[in-house]
């Protein structure tokens, strides 16, 4: 039985992606965790820095000793010691005494502030004039100023940046629990497609989608597994999809150039146990033929064979699935910067479907101008010349020149 | 002899970076080339697609046969064959004849356009009504429409995106010449700093800069080589810097908490053959103590030990060097998106130095608001809470609330 499928909106596809639970967590070392997504909130296991630290080079002292001090009315203090870096001072201060201290040094007992070396005049080895009055806490960090024990510092679902990894290091976490990277099998099909190493004969073109999809998956923090080219044959497609389904969380199949291939792709996808057709056709250009079959917790995805369409469809419809499996919001263009711009000319569109149009960007005084790249469908080079994409909403007949638009900028 | 060094402007430091020649090129496979920088222009080695291709499913025909055709006045054509994908058609068309063709198929001789299947009505196996008139070239790509032989498609210095790699695949380039990744030795120093695996005693903190710098280098497409922690001892620093100088293009040394360490770092750096002090102090906050010694074609860089300062200094002053060595413009914040925003409150600053202030971002109707994150210097957590940096120019006394600013958004 071949069910009838209604073309769905992009938002519905994103809804299915949003409903997916994340993959299980795994622990990875800090230096391998850049860009990975945190699987659990991070609570501070102890106070940070854990002791009172100087944030300037100068003199640790009791702030009360400096009250009234100024350039013209210095106070005189005795130098009662020097704080060594990385050790608790073996002495304490009494009123009238201070200690040399460097940035990062631990304040001795009896001190509650630091006067910068610029606000002091050394008289001899054991006495100093302080020419500035400071309040308690000045030029210091208290024991829990950076973080208090139990405080939630990072939240599950955050992607880890260098500074986040730095915080984990500061708290003694050598490794961190992140969501697993989705494993993604990649298949290209099409009787006219030959491997990159081949010299195409008449009517043939080289395989492009394997390379664009593999690097797009890499960029989305998935693990690409290129399975190669497959003929437009039901048997071959079944064999490779079956193998990929076993080994990967997602299987991407782009192409299927013949009309027959398009039919048996859906038949193959639906032939697996518990297969469920979530999407078969989306009201969007490019991306209309997108197909999504779920088989248990695995996903089989059909993408257009045309290179530019395949690339945009990945970002719009596949990336949200990869994000969701990594515990992130199921957003399209998740790694794209969003740039406000003004449309340089009219952009007509057909109502009833969303459209994503490639644009070049030019800076024009204080604003960015987005120039739609028209041209024949299927050109690789307009994709190369484009810096981003502009969305034309579903019910719009287009956007006028001068409209404010948001450009999704292709990541580099 | 210890020369006197004037504090330099950020722009001067970028000037030294800009003058560096790129590292030699190397060839890498396409799937390993994402984010790498192209070392030579790419000229199309042949036309692309190389033959006339259909961009729609339908009927290949001579456009002249359709002139005057319309929904109410169809023209009748004989179906003279079917184009198989991936092969040159074995037949040619004469006037009055057409051929079935799928998207991507090669047009037979005698055809110069394709009519979409939606604009046809099949009468029987061998005849069809065409209900739309098309011009020559409609729904086709000519042999050189995507690229003509010899055309420059990608330029040296471009960072390779998935679509660029796709174009290389289409042109049969299995590998690509890119500039080498700079090798970067990373050393942390400071008597108070202990490894991440240690329980810090009183006055001690864990090593953070090794992790932030390593992942920052990774993000900038360099190869990080963490060399570990080193005591604030001239001997130890000399030993490790000597080893790193031999093996790496850049050596980053962060910290040196004691006043003595700051002195002997510059002495160690200057002790190598042909060492030349380019920078010793920059008029910027953070980043003031930045030091750059060039020894032949190797670079020794001193960074502040304070974690937040070290991170910002890397992006501002080290990243342009890494970019330049990879044949890219010597720009700071090269991987940051730039977001126009409005400052939420006054941001005072000291004239005479540039300043980079951390901000949080909030969307407020159609615009982004940048909220300066004040707070004690040296806090890791305000760095974590920040989404980006705002620059206050050197000669400014600050920026007023409501000012338009550009936010450099931390990459994820």
pLDDT bin (cut points 50, 70, 90) of residue B1 is very low
Question: What local confidence, expressed as pLDDT, does residue B79 receive?
Answer: 97
* Distance, CA of B105 to CA of B51 (rounded, Å): 10
Contact at CB, B410 and A161, closer than 8 angstroms: yes
Count Cα atoms within 13 angstroms, Cβ side, for B319.
Answer: 20
Pick the residue of B378, B383, B387, B408 with the most A CBs within 10 A to test the interface with A by mutation.
B378
Chain B residue whose CA is closest to A168: B208
Contact at CB, B215 and A162, closer than 8 angstroms: yes
High-pLDDT (> 70) share of chain A, %: 97
| Tens digits of residue pLDDT in A11-21 | 999 999 999 99
* Distance, CA of B65 to CA of B78 (rounded, Å): 11
Which residues does chain A have within 8 Å of residue B190's beta carbon, measured at their own beta carbons?
85-86, 104
Which residues does chain B have within 8 Å of residue A306's beta carbon, measured at their own beta carbons?
103-104
Token pair recorded at residue A200: 């195409």
Q: Would you say residue A263 has pLDDT above 80?
A: no
| Tens digits of residue pLDDT in B267-305 | 999 999 999 999 999 999 999 999 999 999 999 999 999
Q: List the A75-82 sheet strands across, edge first.
A: A113-116, A58-61, A97-101, A75-82, A127-130, A120-124
pLDDT bin (cut points 50, 70, 90) of residue A4 is low
Question: What local confidence, expressed as pLDDT, does residue A1 receive?
Answer: 41
Per DSSP bridges, beta strands A205-206 and A193-194 are parallel
Cβ atoms B373, B385 nearer than 8 A: yes
Q: Would you say residue A82 has pLDDT above 60?
A: yes
Q: Would you say residue A298 has pLDDT above 70?
A: yes
| Tens digits of residue pLDDT in A223-234 | 999 998 998 888
* Distance, CA of B361 to CA of A384 (rounded, Å): 31
Question: What local confidence, expressed as pLDDT, does residue A63 receive?
Answer: 97
Contact at CB, B208 and A305, closer than 8 angstroms: no
Token pair recorded at residue A285: 């250009």
Q: Would you say residue A5 has pLDDT above 70?
A: no
Element (H, E) at A291: strand A291-295
| Tens digits of residue pLDDT in B39-85 | 999 999 999 999 999 999 999 999 999 999 999 999 999 999 999 99
Secondary structure (H, E, C), chain B: CCCCCCCECHHHHHHHHHCCCCCCEEEEEHHHCCCCEECCCEECCCCECCCCEECCCEEEECHHHHCCCECCECEEEEEEEECCCCCCCCCECCCCEEEEECCCCECCECCCEEEEHHHEEEEECCEEEECCCCCCCCCEECCCCCECCCCEEECCCCECCHHHHHHHHHCCCCEEEEECCCEEEEEEECCCEECCCCCCCCCCEECCHHHHHHHHHHHCCCEEEEEEEECCCHHHHHHHHHHHHHHCCEEEEEECCCHHHHHHHHHHHHCCCCEEEEEECECEECCCCCEEEEECCEEEEEECCCHHHHHHHHHHHHHHHHHHHCCCCCCCCCCCEEEEEEECCCEECCCCCEEEEEEEEEEECCEEEEEECCCCCCCHHHHHHCCEEEEECCCCCEECCCCEEEEEECCC
Rg, C-alpha atoms of chain A: 31
Nearest CB neighbour to A190, from listed B85, B174, B376: B85
Cα dist from B295 to B34, B268, B275, B378, whole Å: 31, 12, 4, 32
* Distance, CA of A73 to CA of A129 (rounded, Å): 9
Q: Would you say residue B362 has pLDDT above 60?
A: yes
* Distance, CA of A378 to CA of A358 (rounded, Å): 12
Collapsed DSSP state (helix, strand, coil) of residue A364: strand
Which residues does chain A have within 8 Å of residue B170's beta carbon, measured at their own beta carbons?
205-206, 208, 307, 380
Architecture of domain B53-141: Beta Complex (2.170)
Element (H, E) at A308: helix A307-313
Dihedral of the CA atoms A214, A217, A219, A223 (nearest 10)? Answer: -90
How much is the average pLDDT of A87-109?
96
Question: What local confidence, expressed as pLDDT, does residue A48 receive?
Answer: 94
| Tens digits of residue pLDDT in B212-263 | 999 999 999 999 999 989 988 889 999 999 999 999 999 999 987 566 677 7
Pick the residue of B41, B194, B384 with the most A CBs within 10 A to test the interface with A by mutation.
B384
CA pseudo-torsion sign A57, A59, A60, A63: negative
Contact at CB, A335 and B174, closer than 8 angstroms: no
* Distance, CA of A25 to CA of A22 (rounded, Å): 8
Question: What local confidence, expressed as pLDDT, does residue B269 receive?
Answer: 95
- CB burial string B115-147: b at 16+ within 10 A, e below: bbbebbeeeeeeebebbbbbeeebbbbbeebbb
Question: What local confidence, expressed as pLDDT, does residue B316 receive?
Answer: 97
* Distance, CA of B90 to CA of B81 (rounded, Å): 9
ipTM value for the complex: 0.92
Nearest CB neighbour to B166, from listed A51, A305, A307: A307
Cα dist from B357 to B167, B375, B380, whole Å: 41, 11, 14
Neighbours of B99 (CB within 10 A): 25
The DSSP letter of residue A180 is P
Cβ atoms B271, B265 nearer than 8 A: no
Q: Would you say residue A3 has pLDDT above 80?
A: no
Provide the number of CB pairs (under 8 Å) joining chain A to chain B. 290
Give CA angle at A205 (A203, A206), nearest 5°: 155
Contact at CB, B166 and A380, closer than 8 angstroms: yes
Which residues does chain B have within 8 Å of residue A170's beta carbon, measured at their own beta carbons?
205-206, 208, 307, 380
Burial (CB count within 10 angstroms: exposed 0-12, middle 13-18, buried 19+), residue A118? exposed
Q: Would you say residue A379 has pLDDT above 90?
A: no
Contact at CB, B85 and A159, closer than 8 angstroms: no
Chain B residue whose CA is closest to A312: B163
Cβ atoms A203, B105 nearer than 8 A: yes
Question: What local confidence, expressed as pLDDT, does residue A381 receive?
Answer: 87
Chain B residue whose CA is closest to A223: B31
Burial (CB count within 10 angstroms: exposed 0-12, middle 13-18, buried 19+), residue B148? middle
Contact at CB, A53 and B383, closer than 8 angstroms: no
Neighbours of A249 (CB within 10 A): 20
Collapsed DSSP state (helix, strand, coil) of residue A405: strand
To the question of pTM greater than 0.90 for the whole model, the response is: yes
Residue partners of A64: CB distance under 8 A and separation at least 6:
A95, A136
| Tens digits of residue pLDDT in B305-340 | 989 999 999 999 999 999 999 999 999 999 898 888
How much is the average pLDDT of B179-187?
98
Contact at CB, A196 and B173, closer than 8 angstroms: yes
* Distance, CA of A241 to CA of A188 (rounded, Å): 11
C-alpha of B176 from chain center? 17
Nearest CB neighbour to A212, from listed B104, B162, B340: B162
Chain B residue whose CA is closest to A160: B412
Pick the residue of A82, A99, A101, A162 with the most B CBs within 10 A to test the interface with B by mutation.
A162
Cα dist from B169 to A207, A411, B29, whole Å: 7, 20, 10
Contact at CB, B153 and A51, closer than 8 angstroms: no
Question: What local confidence, expressed as pLDDT, does residue A258 receive?
Answer: 60
Contact at CB, A224 and B379, closer than 8 angstroms: no
Q: Would you say residue A257 has pLDDT above 70?
A: no
CA pseudo-torsion sign B187, B250, B306, A97: positive
Rg, C-alpha atoms of chain B: 31
Contact at CB, A381 and B167, closer than 8 angstroms: yes
Looking at domain B10-24+181-325, its CATH superfamily turns out to be: MoaB/Mog-like domain (3.40.980.10)
Q: What count of residues does chain A have?
A: 412
Distance from CA of A202 to the nearest CA of B (A): 5
Token pair recorded at residue B30: 């396409």
Question: What local confidence, expressed as pLDDT, does residue B4 receive?
Answer: 57
Give CA angle at B358 (B352, B359), nearest 5°: 125
Give CA angle at B297 (B294, B302), nearest 5°: 35
In 3D space, the residue among A195, A191, A182, A213 whose CA is nearest the CA of residue A303 turns out to be A213
Element (H, E) at A311: helix A307-313
Ranges of each domain in chain B: 10-24+181-325, 25-48+145-179, 53-141, 337-409
pLDDT bin (cut points 50, 70, 90) of residue B382 is confident
Residue where the block lists tokens 């502009």? A390
Dihedral of the CA atoms B263, B269, B275, B278 (nearest 10)? Answer: -60
Question: What local confidence, expressed as pLDDT, does residue A233 receive?
Answer: 86
Cβ atoms A398, A404 nearer than 8 A: no
The string of DSSP codes covering A197-208 is TS---TT-EE--
Collapsed DSSP state (helix, strand, coil) of residue A244: helix
pLDDT bin (cut points 50, 70, 90) of residue A365 is confident
| Topology of domain A337-409, CATH | Beta-clip (2.40.340)
Which residues does chain B have within 8 Å of residue A106's beta carbon, measured at their own beta carbons?
202-203
Contact at CB, B211 and A165, closer than 8 angstroms: yes
B25-48+145-179 is classed CATH 3.90.105.10: yes
Nearest CB neighbour to B172, from listed A103, A206, A232: A206
Cβ atoms B202, A88 nearer than 8 A: yes
* Distance, CA of B349 to CA of B346 (rounded, Å): 10
Secondary structure (H, E, C), A64-109: HHHCCCCCCCCEEEEEEEECCCCCCCCCECCCCEEEEECCCCECCE
Which residues does chain A have within 8 Å of residue B210's beta carbon, measured at their own beta carbons?
169
| Tens digits of residue pLDDT in A184-221 | 999 999 889 999 999 999 999 999 999 999 999 999 99
pLDDT bin (cut points 50, 70, 90) of residue A87 is very high
| Tens digits of residue pLDDT in A37-70 | 999 999 999 999 999 999 999 999 999 999 999 9
Pick the residue of A87, A184, A192 with the most B CBs within 10 A to test the interface with B by mutation.
A192
Q: Would you say residue B351 has pLDDT above 50?
A: yes
Contact at CB, B86 and A193, closer than 8 angstroms: yes
Contact at CB, A379 and B145, closer than 8 angstroms: yes
Neighbours of B109 (CB within 10 A): 12
Cβ atoms A393, A340 nearer than 8 A: no
Which residues does chain A have within 8 Å of residue B141's beta carbon, measured at their own beta carbons?
376, 378-379
Contact at CB, B196 and A105, closer than 8 angstroms: no
Element (H, E) at A409: strand A404-409
Which residues does chain A have within 8 Å of residue B111's beta carbon, measured at their own beta carbons?
none
Contact at CB, A409 and B88, closer than 8 angstroms: no
Lowest mean pLDDT among A170-174, A259-263, B294-298: A259-263
How much is the average pLDDT of A277-300?
95
* Distance, CA of B263 to CA of B234 (rounded, Å): 9
Distance from CA of A236 to the nearest CA of B (A): 17
Chain B residue whose CA is closest to A376: B141
Which residues does chain B have within 8 Å of residue A204's beta carbon, measured at their own beta carbons?
86-87
């Amino acid at each position: 039985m071949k069910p009838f499928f209604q073309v769905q909106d992009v938002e519905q596809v994103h809804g299915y992606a949003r409903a997916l639970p994340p993959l299980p967590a795994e622990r990875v070392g800090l230096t391998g965790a850049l860009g990975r997504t945190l699987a659990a909130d991070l609570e501070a296991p102890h106070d940070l820095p854990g002791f009172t630290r100087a944030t300037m080079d100068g003199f640790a002292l009791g702030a009360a000793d400096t009250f009234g001090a100024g350039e013209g009315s210095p106070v005189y203090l005795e130098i009662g010691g020097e704080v060594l870096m990385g050790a608790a001072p073996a002495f304490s201060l009494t009123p009238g005494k201070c200690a040399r201290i460097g940035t990062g040094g631990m304040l001795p007992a009896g001190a509650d502030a630091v006067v910068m070396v610029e606000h002091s005049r050394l008289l001899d080895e054991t006495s100093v004039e302080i020419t500035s009055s400071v309040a308690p806490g000045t030029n210091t960090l208290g024991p829990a100023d950076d973080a208090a024990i139990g405080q939630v510092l990072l939240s599950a679902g955050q992607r880890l940046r260098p500074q986040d990894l730095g915080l984990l290091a500061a708290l003694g976490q050598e490794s961190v629990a992140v969501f697993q990277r989705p494993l993604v099998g990649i298949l290209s099909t099409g009787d006219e497609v030959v491997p990159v190493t081949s010299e195409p004969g008449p009517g043939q073109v080289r395989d492009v989608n394997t390379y664009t999809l593999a690097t797009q998956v890499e960029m989305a923090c998935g693990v690409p597994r290129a399975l190669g080219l497959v003929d437009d044959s039901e048997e071959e497609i079944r064999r490779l999809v079956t193998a990929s389904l076993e080994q990967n969380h997602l299987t991407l199949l782009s192409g299927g150039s013949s009309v027959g291939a398009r039919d048996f792709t859906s038949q193959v996808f639906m032939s697996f146990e518990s297969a469920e057709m979530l999407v078969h056709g989306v009201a969007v250009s490019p991306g209309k033929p997108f197909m999504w079959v779920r088989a248990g917790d695995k996903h089989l995805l059909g993408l257009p064979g045309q290179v530019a369409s395949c690339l945009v469809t990945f970002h719009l419809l596949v990336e949200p699935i990869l994000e969701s499996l990594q515990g992130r919001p199921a957003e399209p263009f998740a790694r794209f910067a969003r740039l406000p711009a003004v449309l340089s000319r009219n952009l007509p569109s057909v109502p009833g479907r969303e459209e994503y149009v490639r644009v070049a960007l030019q800076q024009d005084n204080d604003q960015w101008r987005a120039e739609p790249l028209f041209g024949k469908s299927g050109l690789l080079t307009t994709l190369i010349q484009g810096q981003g994409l502009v969305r034309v909403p579903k019910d719009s007949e287009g956007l006028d020149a001068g409209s404010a638009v948001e450009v999704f900028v292709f990541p580099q």
